[in-house]
Amino acid sequence: MKRNNCFDFLRFIFAFNVVLGHLTVIALFPDLQKFQHFFNTYLSVTGFFVISGFLITQSYDRSTLKSYFIKRAKRLLPAYLFVIISCAFGLVCISTLSAIDYYKSADWWEYLGANICFLNFLHPSLPGVFDSPYINDTSVNPALWTLKIEIGFYLVIPILIWWIRKYKKIGLTLFVLYTFAVLFRSLLNFYGDLYQQDIYIFLARQLPGFMSYFAVGMTGYFYKDKFLNYKSYLLIPAIIIFIVEHYLNIEILTPLAWGIIVLWFAYSIPHLNNFAKYGDISYGIYIYHGPILKTLISIGLFTTFNIWKASLIYFVCVMIIGFFSWHFLENKILKHT
């Protein structure tokens, strides 16, 4: 079916930006680290949230409660559970522990339990895995922290839509939601800087704080026709606001500005509207790239080969695995009734 937007293209770009960005951060090689400032993974994550706000609201609005949750589970869980379980069992091959000690370790069980429940932060590492001087930390999959936020939004959206339908206050509800999220994040960041406590920064980067981006996406869905009529007039002010707040290091109107920019692109490049006709691999490359990169570093690819050749191999592996994941796992589950 021909789409009238290029959200698939944008999600791919955001995902691949994370793939590139994590290469420069995770791999502790000077030739790669000097490119860190060229890849802003935070923009990708928040761009994902804007798109999710739009598409998940649309999905719920066109579904029953039961079918909505079934569709969300089919889209998110198969690849997610596959990467968690395959890493838990497969990375024994590069662990510094013996297979017996690896599987007997409490760390292994805690990793499996926490990650299956989307609580990746509770136990991000596997015993004896990725403990290398060329890797920035021992976490298995640094990209998964966003998925618990996505799950939280999936759970909240039925309540929000019920409220909006009941009281007919779309604009006011979304304004309050946006304002609360900005205040929540700003206050916790302030306390984090004041007391030098990471817990405040961690909480600021959870669902209440990021709800501002989801709210902008929701607004785009509810006011789509008006947005399309005025999007050309909104783009330049949005870019100016985004740049100004970036240099002032504040994030008050940034979610609104970035959301407008994302939605403008989504409805302004029609020749990219059918970008994913051969496969929607953005989710796959997002959740697989971390373990792939760390495994390739651990087995010596980046020290055996030229750094750029090794990086190219990494990109190819990520793309191939994302492609196979879509065609032989994700899409098959989605089509199964």
Q: Where do the H-state alpha helices sit in 168-306? A: 170-195, 198-204, 207-222, 224-248, 254-266, 282-298, 301-304
Helix, strand, or coil here: 139?
Answer: strand
Q: In this predicted model, what pLDDT tens digit does every residue of 84-124 receive, in sequence order?
A: 999 999 999 999 999 999 999 999 999 999 999 999 999 99
Question: Stretch 135-158: mean pLDDT, rounded?
Answer: 96
Q: What local confidence, expressed as pLDDT, does residue 336 receive?
A: 79
Task: For residues 332 and 337, give the distance between their C-alpha atoms in angstroms, rounded to a whole number.
Answer: 10
Q: What local confidence, expressed as pLDDT, does residue 209 receive?
A: 94
Q: In this predicted model, what pLDDT tens digit does every residue of 172-205 receive, in sequence order?
A: 999 999 999 999 999 999 999 998 898 999 999 9
CB 301 within 8 A of CB 31: no
Question: Stretch 75-80: mean pLDDT, rounded?
Answer: 97
Question: Stretch 125-142: mean pLDDT, rounded?
Answer: 96
CB 247 within 8 A of CB 289: no
Q: Which two tokens stand for residue 211?
A: 């709800």
Could you tell me which residues are beta bridge partners of residue 139? 125
Burial 111-131 (b: 16+ CB within 10 A, else e): bbebbeebebeebbebbbbbe
Calculate the CA 21 to chain-centre distance. 13
The pLDDT-based confidence of 3 (bands split at 50, 70, 90) is confident
Question: Stretch 218-224: mean pLDDT, rounded?
Answer: 98
Q: Give the residue from 300, 285, 201 showing the smallest Cα distance to 251.
A: 201
Average pLDDT over the chain reads 96
Q: What percent of the chain has pLDDT over 70?
A: 99
Q: Is 279 left (phi over 0), alpha (psi -120 to 50) or beta?
A: left
More confident residue, 3 or 32: 32
CB 67 within 8 A of CB 158: no
Asked which of 184-188, 201-205, 294-298, 323-327 is least confident by mean pLDDT, the reply is: 201-205
CB 43 within 8 A of CB 314: no
The dihedrals phi and psi of 139, each to the nearest 5 degrees, come to -60, 145
* Owner of token pair 């980067």: 205
Q: What local confidence, expressed as pLDDT, does residue 316 receive?
A: 97
Helix, strand, or coil here: 137?
Answer: coil
Q: What local confidence, expressed as pLDDT, does residue 1 receive?
A: 54
Q: Is 280 left (phi over 0), alpha (psi -120 to 50) or beta?
A: beta
Q: Is 128 left (phi over 0), alpha (psi -120 to 50) or beta?
A: left
Q: Which two tokens stand for residue 184?
A: 């929540």
For 140, which DSSP code? S
Task: For residues 279 and 246, give the distance between their C-alpha atoms in angstroms, rounded to a whole number.
Answer: 34
Q: Identify the burial level of 95 via C-beta atoms within 10 angstroms of its C-beta, where 0-12 means exposed, 13-18 middle and 19 or more buried.
A: buried
Q: What percent of the chain has pLDDT over 90?
A: 94
- Amino acid (1-letter code) at residue 137: D
Task: For residues 4 and 48, give the distance between their C-alpha atoms in angstroms, rounded to a whole number.
Answer: 18
How many CB atoms lie under 10 A from the CB of residue 248?
10
The dihedral built from the CA positions of residue 231, 233, 234 and 235, taken in this order, carries a sign that is positive
CB 32 within 8 A of CB 303: no
Q: What local confidence, expressed as pLDDT, does residue 301 receive?
A: 97
Name the pTM for this structure. 0.95
Task: For residues 13 and 26, give the distance between their C-alpha atoms in angstroms, rounded to a whole number.
Answer: 20
Rounded to the nearest 10°, the torsion over CA 103, 109, 111, 115 is 130
DSSP E strands in 79-175: the ranges are none
Does residue 2 register a pLDDT over 70? no
The pLDDT-based confidence of 138 (bands split at 50, 70, 90) is very high
Does residue 208 register a pLDDT over 80? yes
Domain residue extents for the chain: 7-335
Question: Stretch 238-258: mean pLDDT, rounded?
Answer: 97
Q: What local confidence, expressed as pLDDT, does residue 288 receive?
A: 98
